[in-house]
Amino acid sequence: MKMKLYIISAWSILDPVYYTFTRLQYLKQTEKKKTIFRVRLTRYKGREVVLSDGTIIKKNDTLVKIHLHNVQLLKELYNINNDIKRAVVVYKKIKESLPYLASYVEQHKKKEQIKGIIGITMLNRGSERLGFESFSITSRLYIWFKQLALFPIFLISSSNPARQKNKSPNYLFMSTKSLLGKYGKV
């Protein structure tokens, strides 16, 4: 347990550097509600994907890439030893953050160009209840790169990582239409 605390502390120090180099932005939030997302616009480089609402996402389409604020999340999960309870906390945090993401898209100057949102995760169970659609990554090289990049967070966020060692990263998509319909202003 102490090793995880040291890793989280070191990550807390390095996170501002990571934040600067990745061009991420925080979503506007209230003092009481801190969102778990950091975002940036990106051009999609994967294979064509057709979402359930008919949205077609093609190479070079503009998407909002979402990143979980891992240090913040790990600090909140540190004292929870049950993976199911951890998953419930993560689910709630993401659900609470999605209206802020919808607001970000609604107010963005490139709103009309944004086709949807994209995330990459090794933990996608329950994402469909939030409105995400999961698609496998087809490039072996990109899978390997993402497994390497996501491994540290996966390792320290799971109480038994050996039991889940063969997890593969997936794309999570949600169309702008679905995001705004489900989480936007009423």
Structure confidence at residue 11 (pLDDT)? 60
How deeply is 167 buried, as exposed, middle or buried, from its count of CB atoms within 10 A (0-12, 13-18, 19+)? middle
Distance CA 76, CA 157 (A): 11
Strand partners, 172: 119, 134
Asked if residue 10 has pLDDT above 80, the reply is no
pLDDT 10s digits, 157-178: 666 555 555 577 889 999 999 9
pLDDT 10s digits, 95-136: 999 999 999 999 999 999 999 999 988 777 789 999 999 998
Which residue, among 64, 59, 89, has the nearest Cα to 74 in the 3D structure? 89
Asked if residue 149 has pLDDT above 90, the reply is no
